[in-house]
Structure 1
Amino acid sequence: MNTLHFYTKRIFALVCLFFFGFLILIASRGPTESADAEFSSKEWINQKQNREYAKHPKFLGPMAKRPGEQLSFQPQPAPAAGIGLVPYSELDIPRNIDEEVVRRLNVHLNGIDLEKMSRKECATNTTLAKYWSDTQGRVVPQKDNWEKFYANIGSCDIYRDESQVQDLLDDLNRIPLKHVAIMEGGTQIKLIFTFENDKQAVFKPMRYGRDYETDPNHFYFGDFERHTAEIATFHLDKILGFRRAVPTAGRVVNITGELLEKAEKRLKKTFFVSPAKNQCFVGKCDYYCDTTHAICGDPDLKEGSVQMFLPDDTSVPRKHNKSPYRRTYSKKTQLAQWQTDMNYCEAKVKTKMPYAHGRSLPDFIDLHILDYLIGNQDRHHYETFNVFDDMPPYSMHLDNGRAFGKTKFDDEDILMPLKQCCVIKPSTLATLLRYYKGPKSLTETLHESLSKDAIAPVLAYKHYPAMERRLGKIMHSVLECLDDRNGPENVVMNEFHNPKVYQFPLQKHDEDEDETAPEQHPAPPADPQHPEQEHPGENQGPPGLLPKPVEGLFKPVEKPQQVANPDGHRMEESA
């Protein structure tokens, strides 16, 4: 009896062990294919397949981009000043030097002294102060770095003295603020800083970090501006020897202690504290000034760019000129004539003033070479000074906020003026050749220049290989022009002259001016001791040359069936 009882216990234990083991086995194999568990089973199978795909090098596992997935809008990061500044030697940036291109360029340029030709580029170089003194007996004040910069604006380029410009950049970064106002017009928030010396500049706050790239589904006219783009373009323009961009510096401001405390009334009303307990403000603008697109600090520090104003155009006139290589700014008709007709320059540009004679065409090529290096697709107008009556004007390199948006895409259309017109200045070619094949690369020189800025590193380092790659493509295009035009004498020139077009005497208004260009005025400085005076009269501004915005920020008069686009661009409403 005891033996039977013992075996009964054993059998029961074995049955229980088998039963529970079977349950564990079923559970380990996942859901069944019953009707009640069909969804769970399919989900489990998909997870298993995803794990298998993740092992393949083509797939990135659970973080892989899914069909139809769009880029997410990056949260606003904290100021990055001084973070990740790496010596250039540790970056291992490839040069992309094509030795065959170098050899063929040397063959074409054999016997050509580019440096000697460059010295004849601008026959008369004078400054604004000297020109007015000689022609009108006027005296330009030079009490501070702003006024020194204005007084030394040249007839060949905006500035020459880089040490004086560096002093100005330091002022833009350090001088305490006296008043902060909204910059009228435009699609994106910009502020006007009035400093304690009563001089003014425009502040563009950081929207997103240096690594963020433009969504490929976005048009060039709908992209957000980057504060770092203005800073980097100024430095690139300088090391290329153009010196036609406006000084721009990085600065970290305290939203509470500097902006809110010094803000005008209507700007002050837009400040708030976010759910994350960060200080934010909205401002006033056409498109992106709402709570969804608020500018927020960390918790109250905000990085941005500070760009000085050019002199007021009532004192130093300048003109707003429509680019002959302007894009359509339309969603429907995306290609302009110049993008499909390779004879466009010969037929439509070289035959018309001001490009048929003088420095306008070579200067315009310089502008597009710069745009190609920085990836700026948004070049619809350019400005020229109209103050040196008997000297040809030069194009200024303004409004570069949408540059440096893509690192893996090179828009060859930006380089169309060079490819179609086949004109390049000797100074530009000499500089590009030096950076292309010389001991010091373009991006190494740029890296050294940018490292002096207060918010360095200014650019994400992934932009450096992109710029070296684009430089190589520029040299390929120059070589093609030299091959097609039978040598450098038909390509390399300081001035272009079309013998088929009559050359009229130089006039002040011979540029292709855009009559719809909006008039622009900065906010006059307000007295912080009398906050009720938000808009003092014009005569209460600082003495000397009053500053003026450099960008087309006011919305122009709209035509029927047209709507304003970012920064005053027009686009068909049907688009």
Structure 2
Amino acid sequence: MKLKQRVVLLCAVLFLLGLAKVFLLDGGESSFASRRDLRAFRKMEGSLTLARGAKLTHTLQSPWEVAGQWVGPREVYPDETPELAAVLNALSSARVERADVGYKGTQLKALLVLDGGQKVVFKPKRYRRDYVVEGEPYAGYDRHNAEIAAFHLDRILGFRRAPLVVGRFMNLKTEIKPVATDQLLSTFLVHANNTCFYGKCYYCRETEPACADGDVMEGSVTLWLPDVWPLQKHRHPWGRTYREGKLARWEYDESYCEAVKKMPPYDAGPRLLDVIDTAIFDYLIGNADRHHYESFQDDGGASMLILLDNAKSFGNPALDERSILAPLYQCCISKVSKRYGEEFSITVLHRVRVSTWNRLNLLKGGVLSSAMLQATAHDPAFPVLTELHLSALDRRLNGILSTVRQCIETQGTDNTLIEDRLNLPHP
């Protein structure tokens, strides 16, 4: 064989080995699953860029009808959504028909009805307490919006469990006040020539209103899920007590995951896997406040854990709150206990979805932060995340990958990763 032929053959072999390394990701799962997940990842990458000002190419349906038909038991929007840019553009520009105080909760919000009868939630951009990052003061809400970023992270991770969100600049004087209810109007005031309102919520106070820049207020608009999909609220099994001096059981009981696995809906079906996914999602965005979560009603534990209310995220970019990952690392431990004087081993195992593991591996090496920049570039509120928060995403991703690898090393691949792709039909 001539030298040139040998070189060509060697290059071909190296190329095939490279493909094998890509397809057989760190977890050692099947090449078929890895190829499928790689194709899904490439498809996601190709759909990240959204055109500004996009409109539906047909007039048979409104943007709200299109988005409403996307919703199913396991997804808020499907894998392929060529109309996504048009729906988000409609959210950011449609005329407001009615404005009212938001539903009860801890954060200020307004409930709006857009042209065509579509309900949305408007959350004003607000600055939180300052942090010190690398010796410099840093405002927690400076130049970013948590709800927008969380929605696009949901897209990038391939979960598709977060309602659609887009940034919007709202003129309070011309768009909101003329159509506002008396209850909302009563909370408006003027401060330093800026139009403000304080709404109604658990912590809403007249002394702490949200203020526009003049009359124009920046915020996020979240699409209301269709009324045919009523929600059911659940206490998160790894929720915090929020009581000084009182710890939740998971904070001191290493075998807590074993107890959770015996309770419905975590004893069967995909719900506990969804909790693991959500812990990964929340750790990336720095959300330690998911004390409750929502699913669709009467689902028997089969429908998804919906990623609602992500506004308390992207706070201190220097803080990686590891306790958020408790569902992940507590469900992969071994411990030795004693009974009747004899030692015996308890192994508490739970599994991470192969699709989640593959997607996380494909996002390492700075890919995640780059994807976030690309996904949010169309948004009226761009830049949505600061450089510090983008760096935090990549750093926290490495922490998640390290945690799962430790589980694989101690418990084995088969006891750590599971092929679980539950698809339920749309009604």
Within 2, Cα distance between the matches of 1:159 and 1:108? 28
Q: Which residue of 1 aligns with 2:278?
A: 367
Determine which of 391, 404, 424 is the counterpart of 1:465.
391
Within 2, Cα distance between the matches of 1:158 and 1:243? 6
- Deviation per CA, 1:305-345: give whole Å up to 9, x if none: 11011122xx3233212211111111232x32212222211
Q: Calculate the TM-score normalised by the size of structure 2.
A: 0.76
Within 2, Cα distance between the matches of 1:106 and 1:249? 34
Contact 1:337 1:344 in 2 (8 A): yes
- Deviation per CA, 1:386-431: give whole Å up to 9, x if none: 4668x92111111111010111111111111111224210111111
Determine which of 148, 154, 164 is the counterpart of 2:83.
164
Q: Answer yes or no: is 1:475 the counterpart of 2:392.
A: no
Determine which of 190, 193, 211 is the counterpart of 1:296.
211
Within 2, Cα distance between the matches of 1:434 and 1:345? 28
Cα 1:189/1:261, change in 2 over 3 Å? same
Q: How does 1:76-475 map to 2 (within 5 A)?
A: 109=28, 113-115=32-34, 143-160=61-78, 161-208=80-127, 213=130, 228-274=145-191, 276-290=192-206, 292-312=207-227, 315-333=228-246, 335-346=247-258, 348-386=259-297, 392-422=302-332, 423-437=351-365, 441-475=367-401
**Displacement, 1:458?**
0.9
**Displacement, 1:163?**
2.3
> Which sections of structure 2, spanning at least 5 residues, go unmatched?
1-20, 39-59, 134-139, 333-350, 422-427
Aligned residues: 355
Determine which of 467, 481, 489 is the counterpart of 2:414.
489
Within 2, Cα distance between the matches of 1:304 and 1:107? 40
Amino acid at match of 1:153: V
Secondary structure of the corresponding residue to residue 419 of structure 1: helix
**Displacement, 1:108?**
5.1
Within 1, Cα distance between the matches of 2:271 and 2:390? 30
- Deviation per CA, 1:52-99: give whole Å up to 9, x if none: xxxxxxxxxxxxxxxxxxxxxxxxxxxxxxxxxxxxxxxxxxxxxxxx
Contact 1:185 1:286 in 2 (8 A): yes
Within 1, Cα distance between the matches of 2:26 and 2:386? 37
> Which of the two has higher C-alpha Rg?
1
Q: How does 1:532-551 map to 2 (within 5 A)?
A: none
**Displacement, 1:282?**
2.7
Cα 1:308/1:214, change in 2 over 3 Å? farther
Aligned structure 1 segments of 4 or more residues deviating by more than 3 angstroms = 105-108, 110-114, 116-119, 212-216, 223-227, 386-389
Cα 1:258/1:215, change in 2 over 3 Å? farther
Amino acid at match of 2:147: E
**Displacement, 1:373?**
0.3
- Deviation per CA, 1:17-56: give whole Å up to 9, x if none: xxxxxxxxxxxxxxxxxxxxxxxxxxxxxxxxxxxxxxxx
Greater fraction strand: 2
Contact 1:181 1:264 in 2 (8 A): yes
- Deviation per CA, 1:187-219: give whole Å up to 9, x if none: 33211111121211011111128xx65699xxx
Percent identity for Structure 1 against Structure 2: 36
Amino acid at match of 2:190: V
Q: Which residue of 2 aligns with 1:508?
A: none
Secondary structure of the corresponding residue to residue 99 of structure 2: strand
Secondary structure of the corresponding residue to residue 462 of structure 1: helix
Contact 2:119 2:224 in 1 (8 A): yes
Secondary structure of the corresponding residue to residue 376 of structure 1: coil
Cα RMSD for the two superposed structures = 2.9
**Displacement, 1:117?**
7.8
Cα 1:149/1:296, change in 2 over 3 Å? same
Q: Which residue of 2 aligns with 1:67?
A: none
**Displacement, 1:226?**
11
**Displacement, 1:145?**
1.5
Cα 1:299/1:344, change in 2 over 3 Å? same
Q: Calculate the TM-score normalised by the size of structure 1.
A: 0.57
